[in-house]
Amino acid sequence: MKRSLLDTDMLSFYLKGNPRVKEKCTQYLNQFGRLDYSTITYYEIRRGLLHAGASIRAQSFERLADASQIWPLDRTASMRAAEICADLWGKGTPLEDADILIAAIALSNDLVLVTNNQRHFERIPGLSSENWTA
C-alpha cells in the first residue's frame, strides 16, 4: 500500500462506518499509523458537521484530526493547482476549486488520491487514484 490522501468523500464514508472503507483504513493505519487527508478535506468535513449541528460528531472528528496527518495547501501545491486549473479551463473541462486543490496536494506530495470519484479526477494528468469502496 502506498501513502495516500483521503478525499472528502472517502473520509466521510469512513466516519459513517462504511465497512469496506473502514477495513481499508484499518490496513492503512496498521502500515502508516495515521490517516492522511488535506486541509481542504478537514474544512469540508468540519463545516458539514457544524452546519448539521452535530457537535458530538464534530468533537470526535477533532480527536481523529489530532491523530491524523493533515496535509497543508502550501505554495508548491498552490502552484500545481493553478497549472491544473488553467489546463482544465483550456480544455473546457473545469473542476471545482476544492477538488483541484486536493488533487494538487496529492500530486505535490507524491500521494495516491483515495476517492469514490475516480472518473472526476481522471482528467488530471499524473494523478494516481484508488477507490476503497470497490
CATH of residue 101's domain is 3.40.50.1010
Range of the domain at 35: 4-117
Q: Tell me if 129 is assigned to some domain.
A: no
SS3 36: strand
**Does the structure show a pLDDT above 90 at 130?**
yes
| Cβ neighbours for 107, distance < 8 A, ≥ 6 positions apart | 77, 80, 84, 124, 126, 127
Lookup result for grid cell 472528502 = 8
Q: Exposed/middle/buried for 126, CB within 10 Å: 0-12, 13-18, 19+?
A: exposed
Per-residue pLDDT of 46-65, as tens digits, reads 999 999 999 999 999 999 99
Order of all β-strands in the sheet with 36-38: 69-71, 36-38, 4-6, 112-114, 129-130
Q: Tell me if 123 is assigned to some domain.
A: no
Q: Tell me if 18 is assigned to some domain.
A: yes
pLDDT for 65 equals 98
The single-letter code of the amino acid at 126 is: G
> What share of the chain has pLDDT > 70, as a percent?
100
Per-residue pLDDT of 64-117, as tens digits, reads 999 999 999 999 999 999 999 999 999 999 999 999 999 999 999 999 999 999
Q: Tell me if 68 is assigned to some domain.
A: yes
Per-residue pLDDT of 2-36, as tens digits, reads 999 999 999 999 999 999 999 999 999 999 999 99
Q: Total structural domains in the chain?
A: 1
Beta bridge partners of 69: 36
